[in-house]
Structure 1
Amino acid sequence: MSEGKRRFKATIDGETYTIVGSKPEKHMRVVAETVDEQLTQLKEMTKGLDKEKRAILLAINAVSDQLAMRNELNEWKEKYKQLEQTKEN
């Protein structure tokens, strides 16, 4: 394992996973708990789907949220840049 990487065991949707990453354990725990909660919600909402399809839906939701946040961040950066330019004039 490379330097700075940590191992963290998590139970997600009844399965045990070893997550390897450089983030603190608290961060990895929150991520694992969030994924588990969201999979549980999807299981309740989509009773006919198997685990793989629920995981794909979760990934789609996560990427959609990530793209929306990236767009919002870019908008804020642009507003900040405009404010800085106004301040200089």
Structure 2
Amino acid sequence: MQGNKTKVAVEIFGEEYKVIGDMPEEYIEMIAEYVDKKMKQIAAKNSRLSVTKVAVLAALNIADELCKLQEDYDTLVKLMDTEKKQA
């Protein structure tokens, strides 16, 4: 049996998408706004890019941010483990 799904209509880069997920509506809207903002930033730098290229470049930028945050997180966890072992 599946839990209740949240259904949200969001607009990203001028297109409407119906998103269904397990997260609250506000969270889904926040993520959609973030993707929309990234796409607009990239398009503003080069207006000749196709929507597909803007989307791929936005995805690469977001993936880069995620990887850097994961590295930072891993470093912090290692530091905390080291501190615990020394205490």
Give structure 2 stretches of 5+ with no counterpart: none
Which runs of at least 4 in structure 1 moved beyond 3 Å after TM superposition? none
Matched, 1:7 2:24: no
Shift of 1:34: 1.1
TM-score (norm 2): 0.92
Between Structure 1 and Structure 2, how many residues are aligned? 86
RMSD value over aligned CA atoms? 1.0
- Aligned-residue identity in percent: 22
- Which residue is equivalent to 2:41? 41
Aligned pairs for 1:1-89 within 5 A: 2-87=2-87
Q: What is the alpha-carbon distance in structure 2 between the residues aligned to residue 44 and residue 22 of structure 1? A: 33
Gaps spanning 5+ residues in structure 1: where?
Answer: none
